[in-house]
Amino acid sequence: METLFIVIFSVISFLALIPTVIFYTKSHRLKDLRTLRLGRLTIGFLASLFILFNGIMGIIFAANYNYHREVIVAIVVIELALFLIPAFMISFVVPIGIVILTVKMWRRESHSLANLILPAIILVFFLIDWIYIRVSSLTEGWLWLQLLSYIYPILAFYLLWQFIVFFFSSWTYGRRFRKKSAKYHVILGSGLIKGQHVSPLLANRIRAGIALASPETILVFSGGQGKDEKLPEGLAMQKYAIEELGFPEERTMVEDQSSTTFENLKFSSILIDKAENKENEEFLFFSSDYHVFRAALFAAQQGLNAQGGTGGKTPLYFRLPAFIREFIAVMNSQRRKHIFWVGLITGIFIAFSLFVLFMEHLVFNP
């Protein structure tokens, strides 16, 4: 019996070793890390590594089964926990945490409707959960509706998968990219306090850009003037860097026309290219830590020679809700692809449910 287990786990280890090497090699050969493919490769590598680890451990303990039963049980319990704990976190801890952190953000930051979007989404999910449970408990006469309700868990899994890919893409990008400095550091703007003062969040972005600056580095402060602001964000940031942080004014530039992250990068690149009298000059951009990867995706979409620098530190109460909003923004930027898949899944289940309803009608009403 021990020999059979050893053979089985040896095969598992060998089969898992192949994708482990493939995923690792592909992820390290990516020429451009500004892609969601980075997250998929990271997930594939970690999953293969986990299976490989189980295969090796299986070989070790199968060879000494009679002496290590307690250890095997302990390992099984630990591995079950590796699945159950994340499931518990996603199902309960994260939603509750988002609500609590959103309340803190509402108290300490601006009272905008955007800060209430996540709690509203969570309430909608809980409502859909309740409806799904109620539909699942219906009698067989409602089989068509029960089949239709399966759209929800499948789409929920689709959404969860997209979030996991985005999370690992962002996490891996922040650790793989190691560009220390460049001649131009672009600081991406955000809202001003009382329409004219740099917020602590924005100040951290400026400090991050200055921390990696060399004596030749030029800071480009990027941000236009919002409807409720007394001056462009770029000018406010420049003033803060000069007066509060002592950065030389002659090594600063201001881009004051942008209103979105996409425009921050685009207009800053145009400004830098004009200053250098060349096309697609390299630069680093600096934003809050939760925002760097989305900005990197936007830079890649425009074909800009730009990478994300160190992200400015963000309080936890702000970071988690903001990171989820980043995910929503990335989903929206690829909405055609997601609309296609969601429409295809929904259409299949609607067609199947209508077929079942039609068949039930024929059976009971010949």
User: Are 34 and 299 a contacting pair, CB within 8 Å?
Assistant: yes
Rounded Cα–Cα distance for residues 285 and 313 (Å): 15
**Mean confidence (pLDDT) of the chain:** 84
pLDDT over 60 (residue 67): no
Q: Residue 283 has what DSSP assignment?
A: E
Hey, what amino acid is at 323? F
* pLDDT value of residue 5: 65
Strands, DSSP E only, in the chain?
A: 184-188, 218-222, 252-255, 283-286, 306-308
Rounded Cα–Cα distance for residues 184 and 282 (Å): 7
Q: What is the DSSP string of 139-157?
A: -GGGHHHHHHHTHHHHHHH
User: Are 289 and 319 a contacting pair, CB within 8 Å?
Assistant: yes
Q: What is the pLDDT of residues 127-160, one digit of tens each?
A: 888 888 888 887 767 888 888 888 999 998 999 8
User: Are 131 and 5 a contacting pair, CB within 8 Å?
Assistant: no
Rounded Cα–Cα distance for residues 36 and 11 (Å): 31
Q: Residue 53 burial (CB < 10 Å; 0-12/13-18/19+)? A: middle
User: Are 324 and 226 a contacting pair, CB within 8 Å?
Assistant: no
Hey, what amino acid is at 365? N
User: Are 27 and 41 a contacting pair, CB within 8 Å?
Assistant: yes
pLDDT category of residue 254 using cuts at 50, 70 and 90 = very high
Structure tokens at 362: 């024929």
Which residue, 22, 16, 23, is CA-closest to 39? 23
Helices within 109-150 (DSSP H only): 117-136, 143-149
Q: What angle do CA 313, 318, 320 make, to 5 degrees?
A: 95
Helix%, strand%, coil% for the chain, nearest 5: 70, 5, 25
pLDDT category of residue 229 using cuts at 50, 70 and 90 = confident
pTM score of the predicted model: 0.84
Contacts for 19 with CB less than 8 Å, ≥ 6 apart = 44, 48
* pLDDT value of residue 69: 62
Please, how many CA atoms are within 13 Å of residue 101, restricted to the half-sphere of its CB? 19
Structure tokens at 343: 């429409």
Q: What is the DSSP string of 54-71?
A: HHHHHHHHHTTGGG-HHH
- Range with the poorest average pLDDT among 179-183, 229-233, 235-239, 277-281: 179-183
User: Are 55 and 13 a contacting pair, CB within 8 Å?
Assistant: yes
Hey, what amino acid is at 52? L
pLDDT over 70 (residue 114): no
**Range 40-63 average pLDDT:** 82
**Range 275-287 average pLDDT:** 92
Hey, what amino acid is at 347? G
Contacts for 17 with CB less than 8 Å, ≥ 6 apart = 48, 52
Q: Residue 302 has what DSSP assignment?
A: T
Q: Residue 180 has what DSSP assignment?
A: -
User: Are 305 and 283 a contacting pair, CB within 8 Å?
Assistant: yes
